[in-house]
Chain A
Amino acid sequence: MIRYRSRQSLISFFLLILFSVFSVITLFPIFALIMSSFRPGTDLMRFGITMESLLNRDKNLDNYRELFFGERSLFNLWFRNSMIILMLQTSVTVFLTSLVGYGLAVYTFKGRNVLIGLVLILMMVPIQILILPLYKMMITMKLMNTILGVMLPFMLSPIAIFFFRQFCLGLPLELMDAARIDGLSESGIYFRIMSHLMLPAYGAMAILEGLRSWNNYLWPLIVLRTTKKFTIPIGLNTLLTPYGNNYNVLISGAVIATIPIIILFLMFQRYFISGLSSGSVKG
């Protein structure tokens, strides 16, 4: 028995080392990005990220100064645009998809199974193929180059609806009957009772939908026309030209672009795995 125990702990120790090595490899690119952001942009353009850019102690904040206070830098505007979209889109999407998923899970009604089937099929439709007609639609609706145009078409993600439905299947439905006897309306049941039980699901989806909105690329690239209206990803990519020497702004912008979403992740992290695990499995 004792020998068995020690073999067991030897394996655990070995796994711990192995996972630590994987962790270092995983985090290394981000570490390299951060370290290089304190080095001159001309270096990066000519040589890429080198050992030199990691180890050299001659580091300064010039790139960040240029990013935020540079005369021609539009980063502050891009940051603001991205923030507005992140907050609006995430909250609206999470709220609306939770309503739909909840409705599909707790009520039986005519056409419910058809709708569930449609949600499943839409999960397999690449939204990229809809961009051409949606582009025409945005022109007709005069929503080109607007924040609303960026958000509107992809407000309801089928994956999030599917997730909320799976999650709500596990809610204690007896509570609803009890609340009905107490005279609570159906919307009251959602807002006053069920929404509290759905916190883990909101948390998990806030992370995933926030991520989707903050990092969204293709659709904003099509809708947004003037540089002042750009979001961070679109803006950063315009700095990535073979001709301009913008690597200094690009690399510090890349670091800053990652911070808000990491904060969002840390904020909702404790709900993340518990929320996902109660949602994604049944079915």
Chain B
Amino acid sequence: MKIHSKTKRHLVPYMFVAPFLISLIFFYLYPLISTVIMSFQHIVPGEVEFIGFENYAKLNDEHFFIAIKNSFVYTTLTIAVLIPIPVIFAATLNGKKFIGSTIFRSVFFIPSLVSVVVAGTIVRLIFASPDGALINSLISYFNITPQKWLMAGKFHAMFLLVILATWRWTGINIIYFLSGLQTIPDELYEAASIDGANTVQKFLVITLPLLKPIVIFVTTISILGGFSMFEESYILWQGTSPSNIGLTMVGYVYRKGFQSGDLGMGSAVGLVLLVIILVLSIIQLLFWGFFKRSES
């Protein structure tokens, strides 16, 4: 009887993690393995044929490189904008004497509540082509010629995508950084004040180093989010942007897998995407010294 209850005790933790084990096997491992298998297959309805690396060979294709380049540029730009700005905002909002901090937090967070379809629609309508549309009429005050924003080319396209990302995600990153800032003990700042450090010095010597875990976390999710961006460009251009200015890697997976029905090719693109994201994330973690024993 005693042994029985002891084994039961041992099983308890597994009961708690069981949902994860089940979903891991069915919805991650199994699909991952079948993606790998599918990437070596030519799949047409009712017929599956192993073709070795042919799908990967077909990736040597202009559209695929445009997709990679777009995703890469988008990810780099969003990280360049969406880490420094939220850090500075959060540090300011965290100041004890700053009035209205709670209200500003909520205000900046509100755009993250808006769905990508709604946000994309707003961007389409504000950046519409007619001279009278909001942004165009605004820039004409400054003697800049009205633009056909969505159709003008890759720079405009990337600009719109980054603006959209900045608008939607600044607030959520502020909250991540704020949560990190709130764990930094006040005594550190007080001690620094006694030593005569000014605000900027305190920020560089105390705030930034102690914020490192959050910076790592936000960078990791930004790499993932940047490279897996698809919806934004799908909404803005409805799937067919002129000369692929809005084509991303997931867009290419979608195009190959669902629009052309080439599941094998789509899988191959997806796996390349996975490798890129994993490699970049690991490089990033190495850069921060995440794997060093002393850190943990």
Contacts and interface: CB of A to CB of B under 8 A. Distances in A.
Interface of A: 8, 12, 15-16, 19, 22-23, 26-27, 29-30, 32-33, 36, 44, 46-52, 96-97, 99-100, 102-104, 107-109, 112, 115, 118-119, 122-137, 152-156, 159, 161, 186-187, 190, 211, 214-215, 217-218, 222, 232-233, 236-237, 240-242, 250-251, 254, 257-258, 261-262, 265, 269, 272-273, 276-277, 279-281, 283
A241 B230 CA distance: 18
A128 B179 contact: no
Given A133-B34, A222-B258, A276-B176, A125 B274 contact: yes
B214 interface: yes
Interface stretch (B53-61, B76-84, B123-131, B200-208): B123-131
Size bracket, chain B contacts: 35 or more
Query: Chain A interface secondary structure, helix, strand, loop or mixed?
Result: helix
A186 B9 CA distance: 9
14 contacts: A12-B99, A33-B118, A48-B129, A51-B137, A96-B19, A123-B220, A130-B27, A130-B28, A130-B270, A218-B254, A232-B115, A242-B238, A257-B117, A257-B118
B52 interface: no
Contact of B214 (A136, A137, A280): A280
Contacts of B112: 211
B125 A48 contact: yes
Query: Chain B interface secondary structure, helix, strand, loop or mixed?
Result: helix
Nearest to B256: A132
Contact of B274 (A29, A100, A126, A132): A126
A214 B119 CA distance: 14
A124 B217 contact: no
Interface of B: 9-10, 12-17, 19-21, 23-24, 27-28, 30-32, 34-35, 38, 89, 92-93, 97-100, 104-119, 121-130, 132-134, 137, 167, 170-171, 175-176, 178-180, 182-183, 213-214, 217, 220-221, 223-224, 227-228, 230-231, 234-235, 238, 250, 253-254, 257-258, 263, 266-267, 270-271, 273-274, 277-278, 281
Given A50-B133, A277-B182, A26 B111 contact: yes
